[in-house]
Chain A
Amino acid sequence: MLRFFAVRIARAMLTIALVVTFAFVVLRLSGDPALIIMGPEAPPEVIAAFRKAWGLDDPIWMQYLDYFGAIARGELGRSMRDGRPAIALVAERIPATLVLTIPALLLKLGIGIPAGILAALHRGSVIDRAVMAAAVAGFTVPSFVLGLVLVLIFAVQLGWLPSGGQDSWRHAILPIITLGIGGAAVLARFTRSAMLEVLGQPYVRTASAKGVAWRAVVIRHALPNAAIPTVTIIGFMVGTLIAGAVVVESVFSWPGVGRLLVVAVANRDLAVVQCVLLLVAATMVASNLAVDFLYGFLDPRLRTGTQAGAH
């Protein structure tokens, strides 16, 4: 059991390390931070001083080692733009992002799962086809398109809702909806196939043959089994709680972690970018780990294993 945990945690650490390394490399390849932050007109001495101050003169492998060492110590660097610790910058934005992503997740679960179940129970009927058509529309339309269209309709045309910023609770409505629709669509499709697969299993027929009413068959026998594969996707969605709103935050000018990331990348603000990435990777990995453990709960076969040669 210990081995099981240890292996998974080790893999998780490795994943995070790889993500951070990747970010490090890509950012440094993409342009000189000094030039971008100081501006192209700045005198060469200022740029040189800047570079020296931030250790950008050192060979790249040295910068990498420094960086890794710092992370291991828990120091995630400072923003090159305003000098504050990167962690603080990121941390103060997290609540804003969660205000969007958590309700959006609830929306995805609340609409996606029932829709998928409904479609599966009425397979082939008008309901099924309508739900599936809506789902396809929902996940093929890119979120920025959806966001802009919603803004166009509800903010510009109808004037019911504001188009951007974070001033009141009303400002959160459109971003949450935009975020939620794509995920709800994916979840609907997924839940539907999981349910269909389960409904075709012999034990569902056994339950009916026992005289269990159809509703009870669905709730007590089908759903718990369909939950097993569905949990994977939900786990993924939970993993994107921090990072999933990048596009939407930009479209709606919502000051969350996503916007911070976009600005930091544009400015090559290395520490901030790396900090956000670290956070995102950690969230995703933690979520996957949680799903792995949850499987053990949901599927008793994984707990004890099948009897060897049983028959």
Chain B
Amino acid sequence: MTAPLVKVDAIVRSYRMRTGMFGRVADLRAVDGVSFDIRRGETLGLVGESGSGKSTTGRMVLGLEAPDSGSVAFEQAAMPAIGSAPWRSQRARMQMIFQDPLGALDRRWTIARQVREPLDIHAIGDDASRAVRVDELLHSVGLAHDQGLRYPHELSGGQRQRAVIARALATRPDFLVCDEPVSALDVSIQAQVINLLIDLQAELGLTMLFISHDLRVVRQISRRVAVMYLGRIVELGDADHLFAAPQHPYTRALVSASPAPGRRNAERIVLTGDPPNPAARPAGCAFHPRCSHAFARCRMESPKLVEIAPDRSVACHLLDAGTVPAAASEAAA
């Protein structure tokens, strides 16, 4: 079995925060021991709500932030120190696509100039070949040469996101981290961009980490999915199987909460309680305050991510106890 392209091992990241004008300083643990592999050419989806730590994880995987502990390895080599020369040249191999395309583009430069920038930075080719490559890139994302001459505010949201993708692909990266790339787009434009990403991946053999809060989108584009809650992975596995038969109570609630036509009278699992506050994590399992199956052990001990089937891991004490509640009994809860 070939080694994974990206290997993340127990990364942890905390921030210090002051609450209010006169408040105390609190330690906010955004990511609390996350591990996963991403194999070459596959897409790993990272799903979670606010406070889950998925964006922070994405930045650490890309090497934009250093974990407080744990490691990130790219092609079996550890991430170089941020800002160093090897780190900078590694940027050409991995790129990020963000949620807000308008914010990710410089207002004062034309699209073509921005798509060209990575080529200039990494000194790829010469003037003539760079111009050709820019046109090639624009074409591959479905933008016309004319649109390259425009400024970001003159394009629509969908077109801007395409431009961001074109720029990300300029240096022929192996690895792409997409952080909520379609959340700000209309449904029909979302579909265009998702299709585009899937096509590009097939064509260029890209490896992707796709971060989103929208399960439906994640399922469409990912082969494997990791579900995060309060800085930890609670379930990990093949996308289709995971969404068809989620094991962790949180994953079940998430799947149930994803609105879909034709499910009007299906039983909905509605979580009680508030969304998690990373500055005030519950003891034991981070999810237990909202879990209808929580028992004594959940309040004291945090469950480990355990492989329960080939390519499926879950972090839940219920599985240790041997009783995985069937979906039907959830409805009665």
Contact = CB atoms under 8 A, between A and B. Distances in A.
A304 B22 CA distance: 7
Contact of A4 (B17, B21, B51, B275): B21
A1 B22 contact: yes
A307 interface: yes
A305 B277 contact: no
Given A308-B28, A309-B50, A311-B51, A302 B279 contact: no
Interface size class of B (residues with CB under 8 A): 10 to 19
Contacts of B280: 308
A26 interface: no
A137 B121 CA distance: 50
B262 interface: no
B277 to A, nearest CB: 5
B279 A305 contact: no
Interface string A297-311: 000001111111111
B3 interface: no
A296 interface: yes
B18 interface: yes
Interface size class of A (residues with CB under 8 A): 10 to 19
A309 B279 contact: yes
Given A308-B28, A309-B50, A296 B21 contact: yes
Contacts of A310: 275, 277
Nearest to A2: B22
B21 A307 contact: no
A296 B20 CA distance: 10
Nearest to A295: B21
Interface in B194-250: none
B26 interface: yes
A309 B277 contact: yes
A7 B49 CA distance: 38
Contacts of A305: 18-21, 23
Contacts of A296: 21
B21 A309 contact: no
Interface string B251-294: 00000000000000000000000011111100000000000000
Contacts of B277: 307-310
Given A309-B277, A309-B279, A303 B28 contact: no
B51 A309 contact: yes
A177 B98 CA distance: 56
Contacts of A1: 22
A3 to B, nearest CB: 8
A310 B274 CA distance: 9
Contacts of A304: 19-20, 23
A308 B18 CA distance: 9
A303 B23 CA distance: 9
B21 A302 contact: yes
A272 to B, nearest CB: 40
A287 to B, nearest CB: 19
Contact of A311 (B17, B18, B23, B275): B275
Contact of A303 (B21, B50, B276, B278): B21
Interface in A202-259: none
Interface in B115-156: none
B23 A308 contact: no
B278 A309 contact: yes
B20 A308 contact: no
Nearest to A304: B20
Interface string A270-311: 000000000000000000000000001000001111111111
A60 B278 CA distance: 58
Contacts of A308: 17, 19, 26, 28, 277-280
A137 to B, nearest CB: 34
Interface of A: 1, 4, 296, 302-311
14 contacts: A302-B21, A303-B22, A304-B19, A304-B20, A305-B19, A305-B20, A305-B21, A307-B277, A308-B280, A309-B50, A309-B51, A309-B275, A309-B276, A310-B277
The 5 closest A-B pairs by CB, nearest first: A305-B20, A308-B279, A311-B50, A309-B51, A1-B22
Given A302-B21, A305-B23, A309-B50, 9 more contacts: A1-B22, A4-B21, A302-B20, A304-B19, A305-B18, A305-B19, A308-B19, A309-B28, A311-B275
